[in-house]
């Protein structure tokens, strides 16, 4: 016998409650037959004018609705909190878990049978998926899609990546302020997310490789009519998923996560993917640890997109997009179910590459062994990460003297001082930017190169912190050091003048200070007073897990799939 629809508990009853649920919905002009027991599909939308990357989602929502109606469902769009990466302070990451709570409770409280997640900007994709995973209805993703390539003076310019480059060039006196300001309008010239392989396009690529969206979802430009058609087809498919009883948990299995890790390496994807995948796995009840990311250590870099390469997402789309990369990875891919009900290998069937300078073949890759490296040692007992594909080869094995910034304010106030006692061999250390310390773990790990060194032509140095970095950023940057300084991790004990050893290939990050000295420093250490004492930020500080656990809130891990039985009236 078929499982009764979840929505029947809201709209299928001929009593006072059924009257109330239906009658108020009818004020929008829905006819009786919308409540005849057909699947009710929630369209969970993070559209907002304060999240410019998601500004195209209203159009896509309408296309999803067309597909839902066509397949015999009843679409209902609802808003959730939106997170505009470039607009929010102190950092959008502080609110990823709040979005996840909003999504989870909205899905659970309303009488819907399946969900289409419309997201794109960095934290919206993982936040929506985390919330949806904790309710576990049939769920599918439509992403915003990337902006068209940025253009300035006849050249392609990439979101984020070129901002960092231009701003360093201005500091070095190599670019005028007028040119810098001029590039601003050419960089973001259509709806969509950052068109580099930053966090948004990384997460969209991983979503596709996990089988959580239809094929080609990640790379189709936001304004490409084919994305609107894909949204329509997604609307049709979610109705079928409800009929087939295909919940999200069947697609959030360990092999799906492993395929995401493989794709992240091949795409030169964002370091942020690590915290997001760990947090999502925690919701889904999948055992995933930093160690699992080592399965991709030998996966080469295939996608030649900024920040690890030179092209942009529009080029990636025209070259074949994620299906073409999956075709290259076919030998490594795990068997894993997708929203289409079959195996992920089907996403690569018939895929072709149309530009080998954008998507390299596995046997002649752009860079060998490009996967993120997990680092451990007495400076990061619970781990840290580095992205070798965006780093300087000569710095990946290095021993140097630390220069410590106690917090972000200290760094900003002193980094450009002519008296700063640093050279190109110095290792810059930044404390107080982990999940609890900032709070929210901002993207400041790629701290600027000190001006006196920039002026001498230095463009990269080793930087170590408990922060994250933007997916569009580059450099030899050690991130997510766990435990963070504010939680009393060894990072809190580092002092200027100490020696640090990094060996990225061997996975080592050590502080070369003897145990007795470290014990004395620990005895004298006191945590900084928390920056926030009320509201959501306080809740976050009190409950956030460390980076190696995905920085979710401890009480949000896991799921609750019980039916909602209590009535409101």
What is the spatial distance between Cα 339 and Cα 342, in angstroms, rounded to a whole number? 8
Contact window for ligand FES (CB under 6 A) among 190-198, 252-260, 299-307, 446-454 = 190-198
Beta pairing class for 380-386 and 477-478: unpaired
Which is closer to ligand FES, CB of 196 or CB of 250?
A: 196
Contact window for ligand FES (CB under 6 A) among 194-202, 294-302, 320-328, 431-439 = 194-202
Which is closer to ligand FES, CB of 84 or CB of 377?
A: 84
Which is closer to ligand FES, CB of 63 or CB of 92?
A: 92
Which is closer to ligand FES, CB of 102 or CB of 122?
A: 122
Residue 305: CB minimum distance to ligand FES, A: 14
Stretch 138-177 residues interacting with ligand FES (CB under 6 A): 159
Stretch 63-82 residues interacting with ligand FES (CB under 6 A): none
Record the tokens describing residue 94, joined without a space: 């502080």
Contact window for ligand FES (CB under 6 A) among 127-135, 191-199, 289-297, 396-404 = 191-199
Is 336 buried (19+), middle (13-18) or exposed (0-12) by CB count in 10 A? buried
Residue 94: CB minimum distance to ligand FES, A: 15
Residue 454 CB-half CA count within 13 A: 20
- Phi, psi of 531, deg, nearest 5: -75, -25
What is the spatial distance between Cα 195 and Cα 217, in angstroms, rounded to a whole number? 14
Are the beta carbons of 195 and 147 closer than 8 angstroms?
A: yes
What is the spatial distance between Cα 429 and Cα 321, in angstroms, rounded to a whole number? 37
Sign of the dihedral through C-alpha 288, 293, 294, 296: positive
Question: What number of chain residues touch ligand FES (CB under 6 A)?
Answer: 10
56 binds ligand FES (CB under 6 A): no
| Binds ligand FES (CB under 6 A): choice among 34, 57, 68, 194 | 194
The string over 144-158, giving b where at least 16 C-beta atoms fall within 10 Å of a residue's C-beta and e elsewhere, is bbbbbbbebeeebbb
Residue 312: CB minimum distance to ligand FES, A: 13
85 binds ligand FES (CB under 6 A): yes
193 binds ligand FES (CB under 6 A): yes
What is the spatial distance between Cα 458 and Cα 422, in angstroms, rounded to a whole number? 12
DSSP state of 71: T
Which is closer to ligand FES, CB of 10 or CB of 474?
A: 474
Cis peptide before 207 (omega within 30 of 0): no
Contact window for ligand FES (CB under 6 A) among 3-11, 192-200, 223-231, 275-283 = 192-200
Which is closer to ligand FES, CB of 67 or CB of 119?
A: 119
442 binds ligand FES (CB under 6 A): no
Length of the chain in terms of residues written: 569
What is the spatial distance between Cα 44 and Cα 157, in angstroms, rounded to a whole number? 32
198 binds ligand FES (CB under 6 A): yes
Which is closer to ligand FES, CB of 196 or CB of 465?
A: 196
116 binds ligand FES (CB under 6 A): no
| Binds ligand FES (CB under 6 A): choice among 71, 197, 200, 404 | 200
Residue 54: CB minimum distance to ligand FES, A: 8
Which is closer to ligand FES, CB of 200 or CB of 267?
A: 200
Let me know the angle formed at the C-alpha of 312 by 307 and 314, rounded to the nearest 5 degrees: 155
Which is closer to ligand FES, CB of 38 or CB of 227?
A: 227
Closest CA to 522 of 497, 548, 485: 485
Record the tokens describing residue 262, joined without a space: 């493989």
Residue 28: CB minimum distance to ligand FES, A: 31
Phi-psi sector, 467: left (phi>0), alpha (psi -120 to 50), beta: beta
Which is closer to ligand FES, CB of 184 or CB of 421?
A: 184
Residue 449: CB minimum distance to ligand FES, A: 23
252 binds ligand FES (CB under 6 A): no
> Would you tell me how many other CB atoms lie within 10 Å of the CB of residue 538?
14
Sign of the dihedral through C-alpha 238, 243, 245, 251: negative
Which is closer to ligand FES, CB of 144 or CB of 546?
A: 144
Residue 124: CB minimum distance to ligand FES, A: 8
249 binds ligand FES (CB under 6 A): no
| Binds ligand FES (CB under 6 A): choice among 53, 81, 467, 477 | 53
Residue 87: CB minimum distance to ligand FES, A: 8
Residue 504 CB-half CA count within 13 A: 27
Residue 258: CB minimum distance to ligand FES, A: 25
Residue 84: CB minimum distance to ligand FES, A: 7
Residue 148 CB-half CA count within 13 A: 10
Closest CA to 276 of 97, 499, 398: 97
121 binds ligand FES (CB under 6 A): yes
Residue 85: CB minimum distance to ligand FES, A: 4
Cα separation of the two ends of the chain: 31
- HEC string of 406-463 equals CCHHHHHHHCCCCCCCCCCCCEEEECCCCCCCCCCCCCCCCCCCCHHHHCCCCCCCEE
| Binds ligand FES (CB under 6 A): choice among 12, 20, 69, 86 | 86
Closest CA to 514 of 505, 525, 524, 522: 522
> Would you tell me how many other CB atoms lie within 10 Å of the CB of residue 558?
12
What is the spatial distance between Cα 54 and Cα 142, in angstroms, rounded to a whole number? 11
Contact window for ligand FES (CB under 6 A) among 193-201, 285-293, 366-374, 394-402 = 193-201
Residue 184: CB minimum distance to ligand FES, A: 14
| Binds ligand FES (CB under 6 A): choice among 102, 104, 113, 122 | 122
- Helices (H), ranges, 367-427: 408-414
Which is closer to ligand FES, CB of 203 or CB of 336?
A: 203
Which is closer to ligand FES, CB of 276 or CB of 403?
A: 276
Binding site for ligand FES (CB under 6 A): 53, 85-86, 121-122, 159, 193-194, 198, 200
């Amino acid at each position: 016998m078929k499982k009764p629809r979840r929505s029947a508990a809201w709209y299928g009853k001929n009593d006072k409650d059924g009257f109330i649920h239906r009658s108020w919905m009818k004020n929008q002009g829905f006819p009786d037959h919308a409540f005849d027991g057909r699947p009710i599909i929630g369209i969970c939308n993070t559209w907002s004018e304060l999240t410019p990357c998601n500004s195209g989602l209203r159009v896509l929502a309408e296309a999803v609705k067309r597909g839902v109606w066509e397949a015999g469902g009843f679409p209902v769009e609802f808003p959730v909190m939106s997170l505009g990466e470039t607009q929010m302070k102190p950092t959008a990451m502080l609110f990823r878990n709040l979005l996840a709570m909003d999504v989870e409770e909205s899905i659970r409280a309303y009488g819907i049978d399946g969900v289409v997640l419309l997201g794109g900007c960095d934290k919206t994709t993982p936040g929506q998926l985390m919330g949806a995973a904790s309710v576990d209805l049939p769920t599918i993703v439509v992403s915003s899609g990337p902006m068209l390539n940025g253009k300035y003076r006849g050249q392609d310019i990439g979101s984020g990546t070129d901002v960092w480059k231009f701003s360093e060039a201005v500091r070095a006196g190599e670019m005028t302020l007028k040119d810098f300001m001029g590039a601003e309008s050419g960089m973001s010239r259509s709806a969509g997310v950052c068109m580099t392989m930053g966090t948004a396009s990384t997460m969209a690529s991983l979503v596709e490789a996990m089988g959580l969206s239809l094929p080609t979802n990640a790379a189709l430009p936001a304004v490409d009519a084919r994305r609107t058609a894909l949204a329509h087809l997604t609307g049709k498919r979610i109705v079928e998923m409800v009929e087939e009883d295909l919940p999200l948990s069947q697609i959030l299995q360990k092999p799906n996560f492993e395929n995401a890790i493989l794709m992240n390496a091949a795409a030169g994807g964002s370091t942020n993917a690590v915290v997001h995948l760990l947090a999502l796995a925690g919701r889904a009840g999948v055992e995933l640890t930093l160690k699992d990311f080592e399965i991709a250590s030998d996966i080469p870099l295939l996608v030649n997109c900024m920040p690890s390469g030179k092209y942009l997402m529009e080029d990636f789309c025209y070259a074949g997009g994620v299906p073409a990369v999956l075709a290259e990875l076919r030998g490594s891919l795990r068997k894993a179910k997708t929203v289409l009900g079959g195996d992920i290998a089907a996403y690569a069937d018939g895929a072709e590459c149309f530009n080998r300078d954008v998507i390299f073949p596995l046997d002649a890759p752009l860079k060998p062994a490009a996967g993120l490296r997990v680092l451990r040692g007495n400076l990061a007992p619970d781990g840290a990460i580095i992205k070798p594909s965006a780093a300087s080869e000569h710095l990946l094995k290095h021993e140097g003297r630390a220069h410590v910034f106690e917090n972000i304010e200290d760094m900003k106030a002193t980094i450009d001082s002519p008296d700063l006692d640093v050279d190109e061999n110095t290792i810059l250390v930044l404390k107080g930017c982990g999940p609890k310390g900032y709070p929210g773990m901002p993207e400041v790990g790629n701290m600027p190169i000190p001006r006196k060194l920039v002026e001498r032509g230095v463009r990269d140095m080793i930087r170590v912190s408990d922060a994250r970095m933007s997916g569009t950023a580059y450099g030899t940057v050690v991130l997510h050091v766990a435990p963070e300084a504010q939680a009393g991790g060894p990072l809190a004990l580092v002092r200027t003048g100490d020696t640090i050893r990094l060996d990225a290939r061997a996975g080592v990050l050590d502080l070369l200070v003897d145990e007795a000295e470290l014990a004395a420093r620990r005895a004298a250490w006191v945590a900084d007073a928390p920056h926030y004492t009320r509201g959501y930020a306080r809740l976050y500080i009190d409950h956030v897990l460390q980076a190696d656990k995905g920085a979710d809130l401890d009480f949000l891990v896991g799921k609750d799939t019980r039916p909602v039985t209590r009535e409101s009236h």
